[in-house]
Structure 1
Amino acid sequence: MKSLHLSLFFISMSKMDMSPGGDMPSMPNGTNDMQCCMMQMSFYWGKEATVLFRGWPGNSFGMYILAIIFVFFLTMAVEVLSNQPLIKPGTSPLVGGLMQAFVQFFRISFVYMVMLAVMSFNGGIFIAAVAGHTLGFFIAKFRALALVNKEEDKGSSSVRNNV
């Protein structure tokens, strides 16, 4: 009986009109069971998106803006965690390794969350991710350059004092 049901299902599916760009046709029993499981496969604009969790942000414009802000700050965190030195000289290898592993756990979790968010194919989410990566990279490199310049100023001022 089960195999008969499955074969009837596949026969009815093969007879459905699957024209490109069209809506998903109804199932033989009149429901759109497969439509709930289909994923958008091209970029689109609009607040009707599913980002990370089913039903989020939903159809609310405020929740869509919150999703964009969330993805923006998540990608900034990825870049800052990826580009910052975490271990100071003289740190124990065990403590340093544990700190790096802890940060790596969060960084890679954030990276996968951003990847899944961008796979929503929503244009606003994509732009937020790219902008967050860009600003996060800028902040990380700005801080690194400021630290290098600070160290150079310390070294040059001590040379001036000794002369």
Structure 2
Amino acid sequence: MSHDMPMSMPMPMPNDTMNHDMSMMHMTFFWGKDVVMLFNDWPNGKLGMYILALALVFVVAIAIEFLTDCRAINTRASPVIRGLAQASVYGLRMALAYLVMLSVMSYNIGVFIVVVVGHAFGYFLVKYRAALKAKNDLV
């Protein structure tokens, strides 16, 4: 059996729309509202939509921290129900965490800062709530 076939295949020439789309992708951190996060044309370079996107990512980062500390499962429920409930909460937390990660992969410095501050603020709220509960349990 002969192996005389060429190993390289010709690459298709990119069209104008591909060049336009590739020019929008940043591979280094950058400042500005001209970012694409999660969906095509969102936030679409509009300042109001950019601020809304940052607020949404901030809230989701806080929610991830709350879901990390979620203990709302009834201990008297059957082990299967408890397991399904815990798995569901874990799945939701992972889905949100991956969405936040994909947002950070836009390489926008504003998104990165909002995500880090959101996680830190969420962590603070969870620990503060736990400290208040512990203090009230002692009294």
Alpha-carbon spacing, 1:9–1:100, altered in 2? closer, same or farther (3 Å): closer
Structure 1: segments with no counterpart, 5+ residues: 1-5, 11-26, 154-163
1:133 corresponding residue in structure 2: 119
Cα distance in 2, alignment partners of residues 8 and 109 from structure 1: 36
One of 55, 71, 82 as aligned partner of 1:69:
55
Cα distance in 2, alignment partners of residues 90 and 57 from structure 1: 45
Over the residues paired in the alignment, what is the CA RMSD in angstroms? 2.1
Structure 2: segments with no counterpart, 5+ residues: 1-8
Cα distance in 1, alignment partners of residues 135 and 74 from structure 2: 17
Cα distance in 1, alignment partners of residues 76 and 135 from structure 2: 22
Decide whether the 8 Å contact of 1:78 with 1:107 is kept in 2.
yes
When normalised by structure 2's length, the TM-score is 0.83
**Structure 1 residue 35: deviation in Å?**
3.8
**Structure 1 residue 97: deviation in Å?**
1.3
Alpha-carbon spacing, 1:8–1:109, altered in 2? closer, same or farther (3 Å): closer
One of 12, 18, 22 as aligned partner of 1:37:
22
Cα distance in 2, alignment partners of residues 103 and 150 from structure 1: 27
Decide whether the 8 Å contact of 1:76 with 1:137 is kept in 2.
yes
With a CA cutoff of 8 Å and minimum separation of 6, indicate the structure with the bigger relative contact order. Answer: 2
**Structure 1 residue 88: deviation in Å?**
4.4
2:45 corresponding residue in structure 1: 59
2:50 matched to 1:47? no
SS in 2 for 1:7: coil
Aligned residues: 130
Larger Rg over CA atoms: 1
2:110 matched to 1:107? no
**Structure 1 residue 7: deviation in Å?**
3.2
Amino acid in structure 1 at the alignment position of 2:80: L
Comparing 137-146 with 32-41, which one deviates more in the overlay?
A: 32-41
Decide whether the 8 Å contact of 1:75 with 1:136 is kept in 2.
yes
2:80 corresponding residue in structure 1: 94
Identity over aligned residues, as a percent? 38
2:47 matched to 1:7? no
Alpha-carbon spacing, 1:96–1:36, altered in 2? closer, same or farther (3 Å): same
Amino acid in structure 1 at the alignment position of 2:19: M
